[in-house]
Each structure stands twice: as C-alpha cells, then as structure tokens.
Amino acid sequence: MLLLAGSVLFGCASGGLPQPIVDHNRDYDFTAAKTFAFMNRKSGPAESVVLSDMEINRVNNAFERALTMRGLTLVEKREDADILISWLLVTKEQTDVRSYNSTSYYQCWGCGPAVSDVSVRQYTQGTLIVDMVDPEMRKSVWRSVVQSKLNAEHELEGQQERFNNVAEHMMAAYPPQ
C-alpha cells in the first residue's frame, strides 16, 4: 500500500518531530540493564505495515545507535540480553474534514452572499511503538509511542539520518529519572 512506509513516518509531514508518549514501570531497576537485543519481529495487527528487510535493518540500526548512546551494548543472542527491544509500525487511514465560511467579494464590502467551502483530505496516520521488555518477566517495562501523519513524499537519500533522528527523539527519556 505505501511504498517504504516505514521511511515516511520518519519523514514526518510536519516540520518537527511529534512528542513521544513515554511510560515505564516505576519499580523496575533500569540501571541493571547494560545489554540489549532485538526481539524477533512477528506479524502485527492487520493495520501494521509490511516492511522490507532493508527498512527493518534501518530502524534497528537507528534504535541500536540511540541505545548505544545511552550506555547500552547490543548483544547478538537474546538470552544474553538484560533487556529486549520490540517495535511496531501501525497505520490507519484517516479523513480530515474542515469547513470554511467567508463572504463573497463584489464591489462593496460584505454585500454578497456568504460562501461555504468544505475541504476533505485523506491521509495515513502512523503510530510507531517501541517497547523494552524484561526477558525474565516477559513483560514490557518501558514504552515510547509517537504518532504522525505520514508523508507520502519520501527520499531515499538521507533516510538513515531521519530514522536516527526519530529513534533518538523517542529514546530521549531513557533511562527514566
């Protein structure tokens, strides 16, 4: 449906990055987490986007970079990791309907009839969800969620940098204080 859908979330429609919503288990000792690994990707809900292996690698590389900058080390085997990383991109088609009222312009101010205009625009809402899962409890202990209107315009050049920026933005609150 959307070619390179993962990259379009990372090239958000608005100029800035949307503010992520972050939640975490307040009783969890995040200082004990020194290593991480990525969980196997499972197929998500019907609304999730099917990404290519290249896109999955770009997203994984971006989160690896963001977590390494926070002092964690990537390990290859999940059983050796203190914490596991899971992420999912979900999309939903949305409709934006807006109505505008204005006066028509003749030779005099306001002497024409009122004019109504309705604008209907279809867009795709993207939600990127990142969970940090404790491997022993098998439960999420930290989550960051960001939503954005997806931008259908995308460029392959600079794509990894856009992925890196979003991952860094989403992980900015890790570790929780």
What's the pLDDT at 25? 97
Q: Contact, 84 vs 38, CB < 8 A?
A: yes
Helices vs strands, H then E, count in the chain: 3, 6
* Radius of gyration, CA atoms only, the chain: 21
Please report which confidence band the pLDDT of residue 42 belongs to, taking 50, 70 and 90 as the band edges. Answer: low
- For the chain, the domains span 5-94+123-170
Tell me the mean pLDDT in the region 43-54.
69
Q: Give the distance, in angstroms, between the CA of residue 120 and the centroid of all CA atoms in the same chain.
A: 25
pLDDT digits (tens, 9 = 90+) for 90-129: 888 878 788 776 655 555 555 656 667 778 888 788 899 9
5-94+123-170 CATH fold: Double Stranded RNA Binding Domain (3.30.160)
Residue type, 54: M
* Nearest Cα to Cα of residue 4 among 160, 145, 166, 129: 160
CA distance 85 to 41: 10
